[in-house]
Amino acid sequence: MISGASGAAAAGASAPAGGAAPLPALEWKFSQVFGERAIGEEVQEVDIISAIEFDKTGEHLATGDRGGRVVLFERMDGRDQRTRRELERADSVGPRHPEYRYSTEFQSHEPEFDYLKSLEIEEKINKIRWCQTANAAQFLLSTNDKTIKLWKVTEKKLKQVKNLNVDPGARGNGSPMTSSMGLNLKSFAPRLSNEAVNRPAPAISPDFVFPPGGIPSLHLPSVVWSNETALVARCRRVYANAHAYHINSISSNSDCETYISADDLRINLWNLEVSDQSFNIVDIKPTNMEDLTEVITSAEFHPTQCNMLAYSSSKGSIRLIDMRQSALCDRHTKLFEETEPPGARSFFTEIIASISDIKFARGGRYILSRDYMTLKLWDVNMESAPVATFKVHEYLRPKLCDLYENDSIFDKFECCLSGDGTRVATGSYSNLFRVFGATPGSEEASTLEASKTPNRRLMTPPSKPGSRLANLARGRRDNRRGSESPGAELNGGVHDFTSKLLHLAWHPAANVIACAASNSLYMYYA
């Protein structure tokens, strides 16, 4: 399923060498779902997930939605809770896959209005990036179109009010005064008549007389620390008024002190501790906007070298820049761009070549990019062509005109790599996502659906025996070419362009994928 330069290394520091045998295909299974939609339930626009990100350890997962909320999940205790008898009945006792539970959520952004430009700024979360952990506190960056915020999430003990003046035997219709003060009026029966004690009066009887020594049961409540804890999110910094265009990317640096933010024409460098100043390091805005030929679509810091970063453009190129060369990095160190085959240009060529997302492999040797039709794996030492190209949904190429008319051709799909760099993944339409083997000679190409049965295959409509055999044969040939042969048969040629799987993330150390299907978060393991 890989086309491109032969004999190339795999995408990761621990990937097998070129002479090693390809890894067997993974068998993906459903793990968990959060926010599953019931049949016929209408999804609110604000509940649609717009960002997913694991932290570097994989212990925490964050999602953002179009309502400006950030939801955090934490990994559950990995110990096997089954009894000894259940373990003995099991065929094998291997390590359990990571499972997560809801931990907390908070409102990150609110809708705003730019009065100078008369534009409404949505609260939608565009990106989330985890920062370095400090003093048992989690830090993360979240951004909408204009404003970036730094959040600190800490675990705090809860305070509890004890020794309240409440009579344990008080009932709902009793006197508010007597029940709140916990007065045992019957103990002072000699001073009160039976009628004054037993009647359900709204207040203490005017005949009541406080005893000379006071009422021992009446005291001030006390506030004590309980053993219960809860996660509390607090906004530590707000980085605003630095972008004239919509922010499409943020990326934390390996120095744990700085990060970058990118919009259509500029990339800014920030210090996490300074919210009122940033440095413009990339500016592709021409003097005359009519001369504009491309825009920045994604930007990412190198995972280990704090002076290196890469950014992609709408023309399908990736530029690697070194911040040590100059204050304004208007010249790239390397340019990764595939030569266009002669005679292959059409009206849609430049549109589908636009890169929507880039990711560095863990070691920084490889860059994964996603354009509309393909995934491409680039070696930073080879600029002329990708070392591997994975065709995601080639069966949609004849439908580009329809996709252009309904604006689906401008959808921005994300991509991700496994922690060891041996596999890559990205999303498609009809809530499908694809996993490819990235090692040389691998033919792994799994197509899964974001549901509780990810491996199900929807039946194709009845057809003539001859055409069915022809379709199957064509599917086998496409499979060898590395195209999306199962996709055309997966849903009988009916593609749901409203159900698109744009956002997904791969666990940094385990074969676990989290992906968003509308307002639902699905997790799978292998």
State mean pLDDT over 207-211: 77
What is this structure's pTM?
0.79
Residue 494 pLDDT > 80, yes or no? no
Read off the pLDDT of each residue in 208-213 and give the average, rounded to a whole number. 77
In the DSSP assignment, the letter for residue 205 is -
What is the average pLDDT across 467-486?
37
Calculate mean pLDDT across residues 14-31. 74
pLDDT exceeds 80 at position 444? yes
Query: pLDDT band at residue 487, thresholds of 50, 70 and 90?
Result: very low
Residue 98 has pLDDT above 70, yes or no: yes
Inter-residue contact 189 to 197 (CB < 8 Å): yes
pLDDT of 1 strictly over 80: no
Closest residue by Cα to residue 448 from 147, 88, 27:
27
pLDDT of residue 489: 42
Q: How far is CA 369 from CA 88, 317, 378, 384, 390, in A?
A: 46, 10, 8, 15, 10
Average pLDDT of the chain is 83
Whole-number CA gyration radius for the chain: 30
Least confident of 82-86, 345-349, 444-448: 82-86
Percentage of the chain modeled with pLDDT above 70: 78
Checking if the pLDDT of 203 tops 50, the result is yes
8 Å CB contact between 440 and 9: yes
Residue 156 has a pLDDT of 87
**Tokens read off for 330:** 């208007």
Q: In 38-51, which positions are buried (b, 16+ CB within 10 angstroms) versus exposed (e)?
A: eeeeeeeeeebbbb
* Contact present, 71 and 63 (Cβ < 8 Å): yes
Whether the predicted pLDDT of 23 surpasses 60: yes
Which one-letter amino acid corresponds to residue 147? T
Place 195 in a pLDDT band, splitting at 50, 70 and 90.
Answer: low
- Cβ atoms 220, 269 nearer than 8 A: no
Residue predicted with more confidence, 427 or 198: 427
Q: How confident is the model at residue 6 (pLDDT cuts 50, 70, 90)?
A: very low
Element (DSSP H or E) covering residue 97: none
The Cβ-side half-sphere exposure at 241, using a 13 Å CA radius, reads: 4
pLDDT at 66: 98
Q: Which backbone phi and psi does 127 adopt, to 5 degrees?
A: -145, 150
What lies within 8 Å, CB to CB, of 158 at 6+ separation is: 225, 226, 228, 229, 230
Which pLDDT band, with edges at 50, 70 and 90, does 7 fall under?
very low
Per residue in 261-274, pLDDT (tens digit) is 999 999 999 999 99
Amino acid found at 408: S
Q: Among 193, 220, 217, which residue's Cα sits nearest to residue 207?
A: 193
Q: Quick one: average pLDDT of 42-59?
A: 96
Average pLDDT for 122-150 = 96
pLDDT band at 94 (very low <50, low <70, confident <90, very high): low
CB 308 within 8 A of CB 321: yes
Lowest mean pLDDT across 187-201, 244-258, 341-355, 468-482: 468-482
What does the pLDDT read at residue 14? 42
Give start-end residues of each CATH 2.130.10.10 domain in the chain: 29-117+126-159+231-416
Task: Please choose, from the candidates 143, 109, 146, the residue with its C-alpha nearest in 3D space to the C-alpha of residue 245.
Answer: 146
pLDDT at 186 (0 to 100): 43
Q: What is the DSSP string of 386-410?
A: -SEEEES-GGGGGGHHHHHHTTGGG
Read off the pLDDT of each residue in 29-52 and give the average, rounded to a whole number: 93
**Per-residue model confidence (pLDDT) at position 220:** 78
- The partner residues of 150 in beta bridges, in order of sequence, read 141, 237
Q: Is the dihedral of CA 294, 297, 302, 308 positive or negative?
A: positive
Secondary structure string (H, E, C) spanning 26-47: CCCEEEEEECCCCCCCCCCHHH
Q: Does position 63 have pLDDT exceeding 90, yes or no?
A: yes
Is the pLDDT at 202 greater than 60? The verdict is no
Residue 490 is predicted with a pLDDT of 46
Give the residue ranges of DSSP H helices in 213-274.
none
pLDDT in tens, 293-338: 999 999 999 999 999 999 999 999 999 999 999 889 989 999 999 9
Decide if 205 contacts 196 (C-beta within 8 A): yes
In which band, very low, low, confident or very high, does the pLDDT at 399 lie, cut at 50, 70 and 90?
very high
| 475 pLDDT more than 80 | no
Statement: 29-117+126-159+231-416 belongs to CATH 3.40.250.10: no
Q: What are phi and psi of 469, to 5 degrees?
A: -60, -40
- The percentage of residues in the chain with a pLDDT greater than 90, rounded to a whole number, is 61
pLDDT of residue 495: 77
Please state the rounded mean pLDDT for residues 256-260: 97
- pLDDT of residue 472 exceeding 90, the answer is no
Q: What is the pLDDT of residue 144?
A: 98
Bridge partners, residue 33, by sequence: 522
**Residue 500's Cα: distance from chain center in Å?**
15
Taking residues 363-387, report their average pLDDT.
Answer: 96
Please check the confidence at residue 515 and state whether its pLDDT lies above 50. Answer: yes
Sign of the torsion formed by the C-alpha atoms of 477, 525, 503 and 267:
negative
Q: Of 82-91, 205-214, 340-349, which range is least confident?
A: 82-91
Query: If pLDDT is split at 50, 70 and 90, which confidence band does 179 have?
Result: very low
Tokens 């972008």 sit on residue: 243
For tokens 């086998």, the residue is: 476
Long-range contacts of 396-400 (CB under 8 A, 24+ apart): 396/429, 396/495, 397/373, 399/495, 400/348, 400/352
Q: pLDDT category, 88, cuts 50, 70, 90?
A: low
